[in-house]
Amino acid sequence: MILLGILAASGAGGIQPGVAGYSAGGSTGAYVSTVDKFAFPSDSRTTLGTGLSSGRNRIAGMSNSGVAGYAAGGTTGSNVATVDKFAFPGDSRTTLGTGLSSGRQGPAGMSNSGVAGYAAGGNTGAYVSTTDKFAFPSDSRTTLGTGLSSNRSNPAGMSNSGVAGYAAGGEPLTATVDKFAFPSDSRTTLGTGISGSRRLLTGMSNAGVAGYAAGGLEGSYVATVDKFAFPSDSRTTLGTGLSSARLGPAGMSNAGVAGYAAGGFTGSNVATVDKFAFPGDSRTTLGTGLSVSRSSLAGFQDGV
């Protein structure tokens, strides 16, 4: 598993395609524990028999390819520190004995596959910059000495496994993109942030190639998808964004193949799953979306 992270750092040529993407929890108007699984490359959908340990939304997703995916924090009506773990490939769920360092909603999930997962920022009742790190495979938790550059919730998490993780945008409304270099976890802030200050956006990643910050709320719902090229972190904005302006989709990725933005809220919850083919970034919409229309869910994948 560590090998995958090392290969990802060396560029797209060494990356193996993923197995599946997962969309976990969210709100239909009520908090739900549903976890949908999309098998790569067919994108066929099943729904896990065992969902999250509680219905909740505004959750961070983290991934350790070939080993497990994680759904961290969120709100059940009150903020929780819970971290649920889904073991690949059977998708059996356990809940970590040690959750986040504080109960909070709206952290960003970042992953360094084979090494560690991160939950950055959030809202405990007040915005925080706290960044918790879970070491793979033990899942022991530490909290970084340097968190986000400002207290905020609902940023997008993007990952370049083996190289760096990113937390983009958030609330209070900001365009800031913080970058955490792996494995030292030193933080810098990009000179060029996202193209507009927004929150409740999602991240997708094509390890070794680019990260994407999609959708969100910027005074109104947006369909914007910003792309940050690795390793320079230069930003462009895709000519074709999401198929509808919306906040709170889940981001999933099949490195070297495609990124996905699943669900969200356009004024009502949607089940739509948009797929962006790498590297051209052309967009299609899956014929089969989520099993139930919902927003503010977590995305993770069995893949980098």
CATH number assigned to the domain comprising residue 197: 2.120.10.80
Instruction: Enter the tokens of residue 131.
Output: 């960044």
Kind and range of the H or E element at 23? strand 20-24
What per-residue confidence (pLDDT) applies to 304? 86
First-to-last CA distance in the chain?
Answer: 10
Name the DSSP letter for residue 1.
-
Q: Which CA distances in Å does 15 have to 27, 106, 179, 222? A: 34, 30, 22, 31
Of 134, 96, 90, whose CA–CA distance to 302 is shortest?
Answer: 90
Domain count across the chain: 1
C-alpha span between 66 and 74 (Å, rounded): 25
Task: Say if residues 247 and 295 touch (Cβ distance below 8 Å).
Answer: yes
CB 175 within 8 A of CB 161: no
Give the C-alpha separation, 285 to 282, whole Å.
Answer: 10
Whether the CB-CB separation of 5 and 112 falls below 8 Å is answered with: yes
Give the model's pLDDT for residue 14: 58
> In terms of Cα–Cα distance, which of 193, 214, 216 is closest to 274?
214
pLDDT of residue 185: 98
Which pLDDT value is given to residue 291? 98
Strand, coil or helix: 12: helix
Distance CA 84, CA 53 (A): 7
Rounded Cα distance between 150 and 161, Å, is: 24
The pLDDT assigned to 4 comes to: 36
- What is the spatial distance between Cα 213 and Cα 224, in angstroms, rounded to a whole number? 8
Of 302, 304, 303, nearest to 87 by C-alpha is 302
Task: Count other C-beta atoms under 10 Å from residue 172's C-beta.
Answer: 11
CA distance 189 to 285: 33
Tokens representing 282? 């052309």
- Please name the amino acid found at residue 88: F
Question: pTM value?
Answer: 0.94
| Max Cα-Cα span within the chain | 45
Low-confidence ranges of the chain (pLDDT < 70): 1-15
The structure tokens 């969210």 sit at 26
The domain of 258 spans: 2-302
Measured CA to CA, the distance from residue 226 to residue 232 in angstroms comes to: 14
Tokens representing 253 are: 């990725």
Find residue 105's DSSP bridge partners.
123
